[in-house]
Structures are given as structure tokens and as C-alpha cells.
Structure 1
């Protein structure tokens, strides 16, 4: 079939397999252009490895330090009539590139929250690698089924305590609108913590410890976001922020159990991802952020962020640099005073009429489509393409 982008709100319902492969290769080429990661991890499990930061977190250790990697994700394969998800095509492309480079790589597609998936992955690690020295937790799911009871939990993006109103970018219409979000109930808060907090991260580490597949001195990291004060009400001080606090508490508990420095939360930069596109206010903020950071030469994508995370923190001689709450901050360039002062200045004045002038909305749209394999150089988007792509066998 000839595959074209079909967008609906913050979702693109099609993905281009060749474009996704080109996107993955671009990231691999970037990592290979950087200095090798001396003393980088050699056996890495990435939970949530098919898109965004999770995908980059598999590419960097594999092609930066020659690591064997195991990836876990929940994606849909393509059929003769319908494309698969971008994450599926990303995983296929990564596996192919890793095998061609002589790297061990194995992927698991299914529910990472389930006991069955944990057992399957752990059994494979035990048989093939023995142990892993790094576990990266990068799941961004809107729902989770309790592995014991089967109860379904759903996360919500809502403020806590009071109604929130602010500017929002309608990405379909390229219009600045006002968004009002009612506060979450206690049940919605609790469910969001169940989905987006640290409980499942802890369950993975518990199961791996019990099975003996965590190497001595292993490290584990989970990803978070804080963002600017103008988004705090709906994010940092909202339901997602409450879940991220639980994530940080989980890291502290694991450090007490396994030793200081074992577990850390990395606060990453705001980027166009499938997850961030769904958060009210954030697409407008990212459009403004991209413009000023590109002008100052400090803009980074997922792969640059994770390369810096590994190079400056995980493989640094003195270990990671932490903030006062024990977190790594690779959002430091985003949150610099000059960047945030500029965004605060233009936030009040941005309108539908001047959107493309004072923001990088064009760049936002381009990045959004690239997530799904569209707009990549060297890809013939008029060519007939087979949407069925299988994961290479190990």
C-alpha cells in the first residue's frame, strides 16, 4: 500500500515502516558519531523500549558501549490492510540494526505490567545473559491492569483541588484556544498513581532480584518531567505530578534496600512524543520552547538527551550529578533562567495570528509526523510499501 499520515488530534493512525526505520538509523548514526561510552553498561533491560526516550535508551547503550539489550513494549503489528504502530516498526528496525552489528538483542511485545511478561523476560535474561547491570523503566501507558486482581486503572491529566484554565494549542486547527480542566477526584488521583507511579517499577526489580538476574552493583533509572511553573497546575502539581512523587519515593526505597546510587529518577526535557502530545497546554509550551532553544543552539531531541544522560552521568568518573532531591536533571538547559524568562514573556502575547512567528509550531508538526515515520529524508513516500514487518529472529 501507499502509506500517508492520517492524524486525529494527538494521534496519527498510520505509520510508515521505512520512515520509522530511517528515524531509528538516524539515531544510531548520531550515537556512533559520539565518543564511545567508556565503562558503559553491557547488559541492559529497557521496559518501554519502542518509542521516544525508551527507544533512545536502547540505542545509546547498544551502539555507544556495545551492550546486549532486552526490550519490552506493547505495540501492534501491521497487516495487509492496516499499518502497524510506529513503535512496532521502530523495534523491528532496531533489532535488524543490532543483529547486523553483531549485538545481542531480543524484544518482547506484550503487557509489561503482567506477571507473565516479567517471567518470560526474566527467564530469557537468565538463559541468555545470566544477569543485567542496568534496568531502564520508561513506560508511558494510560492504563494498567493489576497483575493480581485484574482490576483496571486509568490515569488522568487533571489538576488537584481547583479548576485550571490556560491557553492551549489546537494542533489540528493551528489555533490558540482556552482550555478548562476540572479537578480530579481522589479516586482519579489514586488510579493515576497506580498507573504512572513507581509500583510496577518496584515489581520488576523485586521479581528480578528474586530470580537472581540483577548483577552486583546494578543501576536502575526511571524517567520523569517537571516543567515550567505555567504547566505545574495540570502536571507537576496535578495527578501526573502526584504519580511522579510516588516514583521518586520508590527510588528512595530501592536505594535504602540495594545501596545508595542504585536507583535514580532522571528528569528529562519536554519533547514532542506520543505521550506529551496528549497533555493540555504542553504542545504550545513545546512550540515556544523549541524556537528559543534552537535559536540559542541548545535544542536536543530524545537521542541527544539520552546520549548526554549516559555520557555525563551514568559513565562519569564521579557518578551522576544529582539535585537537592536526588534526581538527575537533563532538563537543565530547558529550565535555565534565560529560556524560561523568554517563554514567560511570549506566553501572554501568543495568538493564533502570530503563532508561526513567535513559536516553532512548524517544527512541532514536523517532529510529530517523524514519530510515525513521515518526513524522513531518503524515503519514497509515493512507493508501494508492505506494512507487514516481522521482528528478526535472534
Structure 2
């Protein structure tokens, strides 16, 4: 079929297999252009491994330090006239590239919140790797069914306590306007924490530890974001922020549990990037468009793969103490949060309107990055040509589909 982007709101309902493969290959080539990391992880489990930071973590571990990886995710294969999801195509391309160079790479597709998939993953680790020395927790989902109680939670992106009004942008039309987001109810806060907080991370680590598949000195990392004051009401001080507070609390709890293995748990605070998740947050796309403009002009811009390479090379695997802030968090948002960067963004925020958006922001870069998430806009791909949408992930059986 000929596959073109079909955008609905903040998601794209189609994905291009060749474009996704090219996007994955670009990240692989970046990692391969750097020196091999002898001190890096060797056996890695990535929970939420098919897009964004999770995918970049898997690529960085494999091609940076030769790690064997197991990826866990929930993605959909092609069906009839419907393309597969971008994460499906990403995983197919990653596994093919990894296995072609002799690296172990396998995946499990299903509900990562379920006890069943946790046990399937444990069985795969036990059978193929014995133990893992790094567990990356990078799940991003709008809903979760609790494996013990059966309750289904749905997350919201709202402020807490009072309504919040600020600028936002319609990324596709370029219209800058004011948006008011009403405050969350206590029930909405509870639901969001249940999905995006640390309970499932702890459940994963408990199950892995009880099964004996965590190596001595194991490290685990989950990803978070803080950002500038302009986004705090909707993000860090809103429902998502409450969930991230719970994530940080969970890291401290896990540190106690992992002490018998001399293991450590960290929350890594990463840079704001165009992802399927961030595109859904009011105000944030406008902030990212301005941030990209400033950071590119200062030659400080990083994407997911650059962030994850720096996390591994300069934070987690330095043969020394892992550098953390006063709350025990790893910070790879340090370039974003530089005072000169934030002042420049704040100045632009005060000026930006629909009329000057194209000139004072990198809205074009935002749009390009958004499309690239789904395999569109990659150089060297003929998007007018017929392509095969039904692509297999090498290690997934038909039953997994």
C-alpha cells in the first residue's frame, strides 16, 4: 500500500515501516559513531522498549556496550488496510539490525501491567540470559488495569487545586491562543498516580528479584521530567507531577529492597522532547518549539538517542559514583535547564503570537520531529511508492500478535 500520514489530534494513526526503520538506523549509527563503552550494561530488560526514551535506551545498550536486550511493550501489527503501530515497526527494525550484528535481542508484546507478562518475561530471562544487570522502566500509557484488584485507571493531564490559563499552540495550524485547563478531582489524581507513579515499577522489580533474575549490582532507572516554571502548573505541580513524585518515592523504596544485591534504583530527569506523550500535554508543545529554537542556536540540542547515550556514558556507567542531585535524581536535563537557555525561552514566551510563531520558534522542527516518530519525513524514503505494511518482528510468534 501507499502510506501517508493521517493525523488526528495529537496522534498519527498511520506509520511507515521503511521510515521507522530509517529512523531507528539513524539512532544506531549515532551510537556506533562513538567509542564502545566497556563499563556499560551487558544484559538489559527494557519495559516500554518500542518508542522514545525506551527505544533509545535499548539501542544505546546494544550498540554502545554490546548488551543483550529483552524489550517489553504493547504494540499492534498491521491488519487489513491498517498499518502497524510505529513501535511495532521500530522493534522489527531494531531486532533485525541487532541480530545482523550478532547481538541477542528478543521482545514480548502485551500488557506490561499484567502479572502474566511479568512471568513470561521472567521465564525468558531465566531461559536465555540467566539474569539482567539493568532494568529500564519507560512505560507510557493512558490507562492501566490493576493486576490484583481489576480496577481500571485512566490518566488525565490537569493542574491541581485551581484552573490554569496560559498560552498554547495548535501544532498543525500554528495558531497561538490561550487555554484554560480545569483542575483535577482527587479521583483523577489517584488514577493518574496509579498509572504513571511507581507502583508498577515496584511490582516489576519485586517479581524479578523474587525470581532470582536480577544480577548482583543490578541498576534500574525510570524516566521523569521537571521542566521550567511556565509548565509547572500543568506538569510538575499537576497530576503528572504528583505521579512523578510517587515515582521518586518508589526509587527510594527500591533502593532498600535492592540493597541485598548491592543494587540501585534511580529516577533520571530527562530533557523535553517531541514524543507521543508530550504532544498530548497542553502548553508543552509551544514550550518545546521555543526550546528547540534556543538550544539549536546554542548547539546544545539533543534528541532521545543523544540523551540516552549521555545517561549511560556520563551518569550510570562511569566506574565511579553516579552523580545525582540533592533528591537523588540523575539529571540529564542539565543543558535544557541552563540559566541562559531558560532566560532566552522565557523572553520568547512573552513575545510569541500566531503572527511571529514561524520566525521566533522552531515549530517547523517540532512538526518534523512529530512526523518522524511515525516514520514520515525521513530522507531517502519514497513516500509515493507502494510498501509492504505487514512487517514481522523476528522474535514474536503469531500468538503474540
TM-score by length of 1: 0.99
Counterparts of 1:24-43 in structure 2, within 5 Å, are 24-43=24-43
Quick check: 1:47 aligned with 2:77? no
Aligned residues: 394
Superposition pairs for residues 224-263 of structure 1, below 5 Å? 224-259=224-259, 262-263=264-265
C-alpha separation in 2, matches of 1:230 and 1:75: 33
Find the aligned partners of 2:39 and 2:304 in 1 and give their Cα distance. Answer: 22
Task: Check the 8 A contact 1:80/1:386 in 2, yes or no.
Answer: no
* Correspondence for 2:303: 301
Match of 1:286 in 2: 288
Kept after mapping to 1: 8 A contact 2:77/2:85: yes
1:179 and 1:261, CA in 2 relative to 1: closer, same or farther beyond 3 A? farther
Residues 50-199 of structure 1 aligned to structure 2 (within 5 Å): 50-199=50-199
Aligned equivalents of 1:297, 1:253: Cα separation in 2: 38
State the Cα deviation string for residues 22-48 of structure 1 (Å, max 9, x = none).
Answer: 000000000000111121110000000
Do 1:80 and 1:387's aligned partners in 2 also have CA atoms closer than 8 Å?
Answer: no
CA contact (8 A) 1:9 1:171 kept: no
Kept in 2: contact 1:8–1:172 (CA 8 A): no
Q: Take 1:374 and 1:319, find their aligned partners in 2: how far apart are those partners?
A: 41
* Shift, 1:393, TM fit: 3.6
String of CA shifts for 1:148-184, please: whole Å, max 9, x gaps.
1221001110100001000001113110011101111
Q: 2:357 aligns with which of 351, 355, 358?
A: 355
Aligned pair in 2 of structure 1 residues 173, 371: CA closer, same or farther (>3 Å)?
Answer: same
Aligned mates of 1:132, 1:261 — CA distance in 2: 12
CA contact (8 A) 2:110 2:117 kept: yes
Partner of 1:2: 2
Identify unmatched segments of 5+ residues in structure 2.
Answer: 397-401
SS at match of 1:217: strand
- Between 1:33-42 and 1:359-368, the stretch displaced more is 33-42
1:221 match: 221
TM-score (norm 2): 0.97
Q: Distance in 2 between matches of 1:317 and 1:121?
A: 29
Which deviates further from its counterpart, 300-309 or 248-257?
A: 248-257
Instruction: Give the whole-Å Cα distance in 1 for the aligned partners of 2:16 and 2:204.
Output: 32
Name which of structure 1's ranges 359-368 and 166-175 shifts more when overlaid on structure 2: 166-175
The answer on whether the counterparts of 1:122 and 1:211 sit within 8 Å (CA) in structure 2 is yes
Kept after mapping to 1: 8 A contact 2:20/2:373: yes
Partner SS, residue 222 of structure 2: strand
CA distance in 2, matches of 1:172, 1:381: 20
CA distance in structure 2 between the partners assigned to 1:172 and 1:18 by the alignment: 24
CA distance in 2, matches of 1:109, 1:171: 31
Distance 1:173 1:252 in 2: 44
Counterpart CA distance in 1 for 2:309 and 2:321 is: 15
374, 377, 380: which one aligns with 1:372: 374
Per mean C-alpha deviation after superposition, the further-off stretch among 354-363 and 384-393 is 384-393
Contact 2:218 2:263 in 1 (8 A): no
Which shows bigger deviation, 312-321 or 289-298?
Answer: 312-321
8 Å Cα contact 2:107-2:395 kept in structure 1 = no
The Cα of 1:261 is off from its aligned counterpart by 6.2
Q: 1:315 aligns with which of 314, 317, 328?
A: 317
- How far does the alpha carbon of each residue in 1:37-91 deviate from its partner, in whole angstroms, 9 at most, with x for none? 1211100000000000000000001000110000001111012311011001001
Within 5 A, what are the aligned runs for 1:323-338? 323-338=325-340
Q: 1:314 deviation in Å?
A: 1.4
Question: Following TM superposition, where does structure 1 have runs of at least 4 consecutive aligned residues deviating by more than 2 angstroms?
Answer: none
Q: Distance in 2 between matches of 1:261 and 1:237?
A: 30
Does the 8 Å contact 1:38/1:315 carry over to 2?
A: no
Runs of 5+ consecutive residues of structure 1 not aligned to the other structure: none
